[in-house]
Amino acid sequence: MNLAQVPAKLMKTTSHLATPPHGFARRQAPLTSTTGAVPRAGAGRDPSVARSRRILGLLGLVWVFAMGGAFAQLASPPLPENLTYQGFLVDANGAPLGTNAPANYDVVFRLWADPLSNDSANNLIWSEQQTVTVDKGYFSVLLGAGSSYSSEPYPKLSSTFARPDANARYMEVTVLGIGPASTPNVTILPRLRLLPGPYAFLAQYARAAGSLVTASNQTVLSVSSTNVGINTASPSTALEVKGTITATAFAGSNATFSGTVTAPAFSGSDAKLSGTVTASTFSGANATLTGTVNAQTFSGVNGTFTSLNVNGGLHAKGGPPGANDNNNTGYMFSAPGDSDSGMSSSAQGQIEFYNNSSEVMRVKDGMVGIGTTAPGAMLDINSKSQGNATSGGLRLEDPSDSGYWNIHPWSVYFNFFGYTGYLDYLVFSFGNNETASSPVYSYLSTSTTGLITTSDRRSKKDIEPMGPCLDRVMALKPSTFRYQSAPEGTPVNYGFIAQDIEEQFPDLVQEMNGLKTLAGAGITAINTRGLQELTQQVRQKEERIQHLESEMERLKSLVESLSRDRAADPRRPAPPQAADR
């Protein structure tokens, strides 16, 4: 049988449509055979052929579609994936099928995108097989409730209306096993185009509408060219939202936001945000944000952000910043800040910090280097230059006033007594007291031991010689002691007690945090002055001793002279004898 030659036989329609569908408003000729001859009743007629003719006559169908709102709206929970499909079947003589008892037929329903083409690869959209029960001519099925047929496509019904050509859908019906042995499956032609119900025409206006408004005419959703706006009538980007967005996951590439976005996961490549984004995970390659991002994990490759609050991991890639706003940095600053300052990482276990496109600090393998790219200690500081406190080193400021302490290295080149090279010093000073007009500082030297202190006359005033102090020195009480915090059995210290010194030399004793302190360097000067006094006294006594020794030598010479004279003249009296002392 040539299916293209099988006409449809007009049958009675149900009352679901006000008028019959196009092409079914009149009766048509009975079904014909492939030769075009119409078999007649009477002798010589094959009963099986007659029976097939009657059954084929049943396939002259009028389809009535009661298409619910399954694809006209979205609801929660999801609507069923079904279409109601009803019809009334009669044979070629107009008699309803299943007049005496219901009868079952295996039927394949197909949706095509073209009314004539049999190119199933491109135009067959959906097919399904069902067993249809006909009772007194009537049948009703739920399309989508059957099963797939052969290898033909069987997607969800709703997806067949999601394609750009969804305005053209044609239903085709094939009844299985009712034709002759050579062509047992009979397809009814022509295919019937699916038509909308009356209120479905509203969808046409919705497709052409430029905006969705509330009852008070406030714009909720607008479309401008290919841009979509929410709460804005003139979107300037693919998606522009003014308001708050709350979602379980958000993807807004090339979108613009001026409100708040709250989502566990945010993805917004090339997005422009002027509000607040709160997300556990934020990904915003090339995004621009003038608001705030609150995230536990953040990825913003080449992004620009005014405010960023991260409670967790912050990840960025890039190289060191360049001059003139030529940045390729993991983290950088922009106007009105310094656009060529920031930080990056060029190696494993390493972070570099830049200022004015020059590296100023590096963290490497747990060590911090300032002014050096190869720190060799937990904190390694390489001064920018030698000379004074402002050229490098540490400054410790007093929060209660403007004073500060300086600690910095200093080196001096020597060519002295055959020695050529640098001597290195570690300088301690207070405030700006390392100038020629106020050279007050102390330092440690690699060539000597102990703390060396400035003692130039030019750095001092009110200079007076010390008075006698030997008696007070003699009153001092050198002691051995241990500090209260020292464990028992540790070696003793040798020194003085501040209160003992204070009794004789109160200027050497100060008080801090309720405890006496001692300026130990002053003891040296006091001991020196006492030693000078003691030396003077010793010298005076030595001079007295020398005078007495000279007098004794004179008397001894006189006695010896008298003894010689008596020996020469025995009549002379004996010289007097020196008394024992």
Q: What are 533's two structure tokens?
A: 């006094």
Whether pTM > 0.85 for this model: the answer is: no
What was the pLDDT predicted at 216?
72
Residues of the chain predicted below pLDDT 50: 1-76, 324-325, 327, 329, 581
What was the pLDDT predicted at 210?
66
What was the pLDDT predicted at 420?
76
What was the pLDDT predicted at 447?
77
What was the pLDDT predicted at 272?
72
- State the number of CA atoms in the 13 A half-sphere of 153 facing the CB: 16
- Contacts of 179 by beta carbon, 8 Å cutoff, 6+ apart: 1, 52, 56, 185, 186
What was the pLDDT predicted at 110?
95
Question: Residues 237, 310, 274, CA angle at the centre, nearest 5°?
Answer: 25
What was the pLDDT predicted at 363?
94
Q: Is 421 left (phi over 0), alpha (psi -120 to 50) or beta?
A: left
What was the pLDDT predicted at 215?
67
**Every domain of the chain and the residues it spans:** 3-203, 204-370, 383-463, 471-581
What was the pLDDT predicted at 579?
56
What was the pLDDT predicted at 74?
40
Buried b vs exposed e over 336-363: b needs ≥16 C-beta within 10 Å? Answer: eebbbbbbbbeeeeebbbbeebebebbb
